[in-house]
Chains A and B, each alone.
Chain A
């Protein structure tokens, strides 16, 4: 337990890295549809982490949470966004400010920053896989890169949802004992946020006939 990482820590780290890689994949996905699918996959991986934590640390409430997060983040949210895409009849993501290569380089830079910054806190713990926490911080930062550099409402919304996935990873590894009522409240909040994002995305599409945010430059100063 003290020297070699436990199976649990290993699994948690692998899953955190998978989430980060999915975030990078989103960054380069040219089709909005594939971006939503990547989000679906990412959420599935996070759900798997919840199951792993529940099983290895014997926290039965986390099974409920995993079930809810599966229903919400793997089924409901992606389907809502996909329906919006079908109605809007748009598939290509708006051109991003930078090319894929520069975006990836920036993302590598910020994720390294997040990883080492949180890593340098020396969050020492025998029971907790602290590497996964550092990777989760990297996920959050890459989500920011995605949101800043993509200029369409779907990518930005998916960026926000995946940021939430990153925080879910962090919360599963360092705050697994959080009362389940709180976790459910978080998920419920996410649901409400998704609905509101959906409403505003539809209003936006209704007014501008596009999903691009390029025209949102009227208000300044």
Chain B
């Protein structure tokens, strides 16, 4: 099994390098194969992880139930996005198109590789290194379109995210110091070691490290008030990159926070870490729910919806009930699938209508016979409608909240999620179902009604993959997966 880890850590990187030199038509195939096989390998790891508690390769690579959840989410989106990108990319003829295609595919693969690496490495220091690599690679991908908006978004992104990671590095150093009180001056920051000694770390130091880590990695996760780069980067990046940023990168940053959480609950007990996450979670959910109401830009709308879902994750962790933690981990998987599908649909709409402005898009439901309805389904999934996975996960979170001492928080969660649902469904319904009665007139020339028909079959296939995953997660999650989620939730508990 450890060979699987070695393949996962090398193959996507090698593919990334290769796609920089290959012609684009080969890159498309190679990237899709790499994404799909990474996902298969991640699935292969699940039974191994649940039966043996963890799989390791050397001292540097290690997958336990917690990291397997995030690995599965990331690799699923890697494969689905590769399929989507094949249909979405509309390369210019000539040298410029070739250059764009090479950069795009090399960047996409290396971006996915860095996120996979973040879930595979064993230790807080290497985790930080991997997440910093995700930042720099994705910043280049955000800038790749070379428009004014993309330049602005990429500068904000690289600067704000790097500063956040600067704080996270500070957290790493301080956590290292906390460890030196138990292990002596020289040790490695591996999870096993830190978790074993966490009960004896100095509490004040761990408290500082945890808050810095939430603030630092929270910047990448999009927690309010350090989320400001997120809507810009998500809306200006090429749509495949937006899907990865939203579905996978935010989750991987959350994974980093969970690693600190794991240590902090063992040193400090559960109250303090939960309260910290609660504050950030409520702020994120509240602000995102309000911003969602006033969005005109389709991709910004989805970006704020991501902030909302990250808030749900943080709140779910703060509730403390084991069932809520299972819900949080399921939410990570379901959100990856739902947000990926929604962005794929947005990509289809944007390609079809040539604009992201939702007031100029009308009748998308009938103009796109397949991706239109699937886009509506993905939006309903994002709003936690049954039978999709997010319904199950949010149900578990709320259930856990109502059964615990923080029932008020669960009620607040339901209210805010409903508010966000209203915002998201209002604007998408208008865009999808309203026919062009008032728009498309002379004062609005950009919205000429395009002919009926799909942009590309690949986009439809990618969206179908996402919806199938969502239904599976919602209706009947495989028993292996349930097992994995329970194990991961147990790892996050405080076994003191």
Q: Hey, which bits of chain A sit against chain B, CB under 8 A? A: 57, 118, 121-123, 127-128, 137, 140, 144, 147, 153, 156-157, 160, 163-164, 167, 170-171, 174-179, 182, 185-186, 188-189, 192-193, 195-197, 199-201, 203-204, 207-208, 213, 216, 218-219, 221
Contacts and interface: CB of A to CB of B under 8 A. Distances in A.
Interface in B170-194: 170, 173-174, 176-177, 180, 184-189
Given A189-B129, A219-B236, 18 more contacts: A57-B185, A123-B205, A140-B167, A156-B159, A164-B169, A167-B173, A170-B174, A174-B177, A177-B184, A186-B129, A189-B133, A193-B158, A200-B140, A204-B151, A218-B148, A219-B152, A221-B294, A221-B300
Interface in B183-222: 184-189, 202, 204-205, 208
B146 A203 contact: yes
Given A156-B159, A200-B155, A174 B133 contact: no
A178 B151 contact: no
B132 A177 contact: no
B143 A200 contact: yes
Contacts of B169: 164, 167, 186
Tell me which of B162, B184, B208, B300 has the highest count of chain A C-beta atoms within 10 A of its own C-beta.
B162
B153 interface: yes
B455 interface: no
B186 A179 contact: yes
Nearest to B152: A216
Contacts of B167: 140
A196 B159 contact: no
Interface string B293-326: 0110000100000000000000000000000000
Give the interface size class of chain B.
35 or more
A51 to B, nearest CB: 18
B156 A216 contact: yes
B6 to A, nearest CB: 18
B50 interface: no
B232 interface: yes
Contact of A207 (B136, B139, B151): B151
A140 B153 CA distance: 24
Contacts of A174: 173-174, 176-177, 180
The 10 nearest A-B residue pairs measured at CB: A177-B186, A177-B185, A174-B177, A175-B176, A196-B136, A182-B125, A219-B232, A216-B152, A171-B173, A185-B129
B139 A200 contact: yes
B163 interface: yes
A121 B204 contact: yes
A207 B151 CA distance: 8
B126 interface: yes
B177 A123 contact: yes
A193 B126 contact: no
A197 B158 contact: yes
B166 interface: yes
Tell me which of B148, B177, B236 has the highest count of chain A C-beta atoms within 10 A of its own C-beta.
B177
Contacts of B291: 221
Given A153-B155, A219-B152, A219-B232, A177 B177 contact: no
B19 interface: no
A170 B153 CA distance: 31
Nearest to B153: A219
B158 A200 contact: yes
A167 B166 contact: yes
Contact of A163 (B166, B231, B235, B236): B166
A201 B143 CA distance: 11
Contacts of B146: 203, 207
A127 B177 CA distance: 12
Contacts of B170: 137, 140, 167, 170
Contacts of B174: 170, 174
A193 B132 contact: yes
Nearest to B125: A182
A156 B156 CA distance: 11
A160 to B, nearest CB: 5
29 contacts: A127-B185, A140-B167, A147-B159, A156-B159, A160-B162, A160-B163, A160-B166, A163-B163, A163-B166, A164-B169, A171-B176, A177-B185, A177-B187, A179-B186, A182-B126, A186-B169, A192-B132, A193-B132, A193-B135, A193-B162, A196-B136, A196-B158, A201-B155, A203-B146, A203-B151, A203-B154, A204-B151, A221-B294, A221-B300
Contacts of A137: 170
B149 interface: yes
B163 A144 contact: yes
Interface in B106-144: 123, 125-126, 128-129, 132-133, 135-136, 139-140, 143
Nearest to B181: A125
Interface in B441-477: none
A178 B204 CA distance: 21
A178 B139 contact: no
B166 A140 contact: yes
A176 B180 CA distance: 10
Contacts of A201: 155
Contacts of B176: 171, 174-175, 178
B190 to A, nearest CB: 10
A44 B174 CA distance: 23
Contacts of B185: 57, 127, 176-177
A166 to B, nearest CB: 8
Contacts of A127: 185
A55 to B, nearest CB: 15
